[in-house]
Amino acid sequence: MHPRRRFSIPLPGGRTLSLGDRTLMMGVINVTPDSFSDGGQFLDPQRAIDAGVQMVADGADILDIGGESTRPGAEPLGEVEERRRVLPVIAGLAARVTVPISIDTYKATVADAALTGGATIVNDISGLRYDPGLADVAARHGAAVVLMHTRGRSRDMYKEATYHEVVDEVLDELRESIAFATGSGVDVQRIIIDPGLGFAKEAVHTYEVLARLDEFSELGRPVLVGPSRKRFLTRPFDTARGKSFDAAEGRSLGDTPADAREWATAAAVAAAVLAGAHIVRVHAVREMSVVARVGDEIRKYHRG
């Protein structure tokens, strides 16, 4: 384990997000009918708002609101519908919680409306590769930006999952995203990076990225990791059963349901914390907060 660097991320309104003393929990609220894990649960805005309030009570330090599923094979969603889904939830949560609210989108117009409505962080799965105008929006609002690594679009991302050296290539592509962001006016102090577990990566690639997560500290920015309930977590069990991963279908053969992957998620969260992740993005905030607190406690006693 390496010492975890501390960061102070400026947010709109003169607020800051302190990272490094402990692992922060980002609670996921998918306002979608088709997300792989919780699609349909929070389509009703009031239900989504109540869920967010409960997540904060359970230990969430950030709430991440998304209106479009980016699961493998998902079709893109129009901007008007995405705004219709997320804006009431963001407004409702901004009136009831004090933790930062993140908008999970790659669209500039959606981010603009969300930041105007109370969000302070943009979580972009594309690392600014889908909509370059998103960088200008984030810079104008003074928002923090999460730059995630992926390749291709959701419907065909596994076709891009070819690597000679996965960690080196992901690092290089994240450097390109950081350079584009800062070149478009985003303050580097507002940037958080995410290696994109499960995105345009086969299970073997994702496990290697997670195992070598400490190497991402060389980018000089805080690291967010999102392992929660993802399909790569089923690989050890599928391998033991003689099953295989079907990249074309984006699923494991003999797959376990997403909501039955919490024990596996806990293992990945623990590994991420011990490797120095600053933020973990999860669905089950209460349970994963316990895992993160134990991991943080272990880190205190490491001599290194």
Q: Give the pLDDT confidence of 29-59 residue by residue, as tens digits.
A: 999 875 545 545 666 899 999 999 999 999 9
Q: Per the confidence metrics, is the pTM higher than 0.85?
A: yes
With cut-offs at 50, 70 and 90, classify the pLDDT of residue 121.
Answer: very high
With cut-offs at 50, 70 and 90, classify the pLDDT of residue 152.
Answer: confident
| 151 annotated active-site | no
The 10 Å CB-count burial string (b at 16+, else e) for 36-60 is: bbbbebbeebeebbebbbebbeebb
8 Å CB contact between 225 and 272: yes
In-domain check, residue 3: no
Q: ∠ CA(65), CA(70), CA(73), 5° rounding?
A: 160
In-domain check, residue 68: yes
With cut-offs at 50, 70 and 90, classify the pLDDT of residue 244.
Answer: very low
In-domain check, residue 222: yes
Phi-psi region of 74 (alpha: psi -120 to 50; beta: other; left: phi over 0): beta
Q: pLDDT exceeding 90 applies to what percent of the chain?
A: 77
In-domain check, residue 10: no
Q: Which two tokens mark 50? A: 């109540």
In-domain check, residue 263: yes
CATH number of the domain to which 230 belongs: 3.20.20.20
With cut-offs at 50, 70 and 90, classify the pLDDT of residue 245.
Answer: very low
Q: Is the pLDDT of residue 114 over 90?
A: yes
Catalytic residue among 230, 235, 261, 299: 230
Instruction: Give the pLDDT of residue 140.
Output: 98
Mean pLDDT score of the chain? 90
Determine how β-strand 121-124 pairs with β-strand 7-10: unpaired
Average pLDDT of 217-222?
Answer: 98
| 281 annotated active-site | yes
Q: Is the pLDDT of residue 239 over 80?
A: no
The 10 Å CB-count burial string (b at 16+, else e) for 65-101 is: bbbbbbbbbbeebebeebbebbbbbbbbbbeebebbb
Average pLDDT of 267-293?
Answer: 97
Catalytic residue among 129, 201, 235, 281: 281
Average pLDDT of 145-170?
Answer: 91
Q: Is the pLDDT of residue 175 over 60?
A: yes
Residue-level length of the chain: 304
In-domain check, residue 40: yes
In-domain check, residue 8: no
Domain around 36: 22-300
Q: Is the pLDDT of residue 119 over 70?
A: yes
Average pLDDT of 111-135?
Answer: 97
Q: pLDDT exceeding 70 applies to what percent of the chain?
A: 88
Average pLDDT of 118-128?
Answer: 97
Instruction: Give the pLDDT of residue 69.
Output: 82
Range with lowest mean pLDDT among 17-21, 155-159, 254-258, 290-294: 254-258
Instruction: Give the pLDDT of residue 76.
Output: 79
In-domain check, residue 31: yes
3 state SS of 43? coil
Q: Measured between alpha carbons, how far is residue 169 from residues 85, 173, 195, 201, 230 in Å?
A: 35, 6, 11, 12, 22
Number of domains the chain is built from: 1
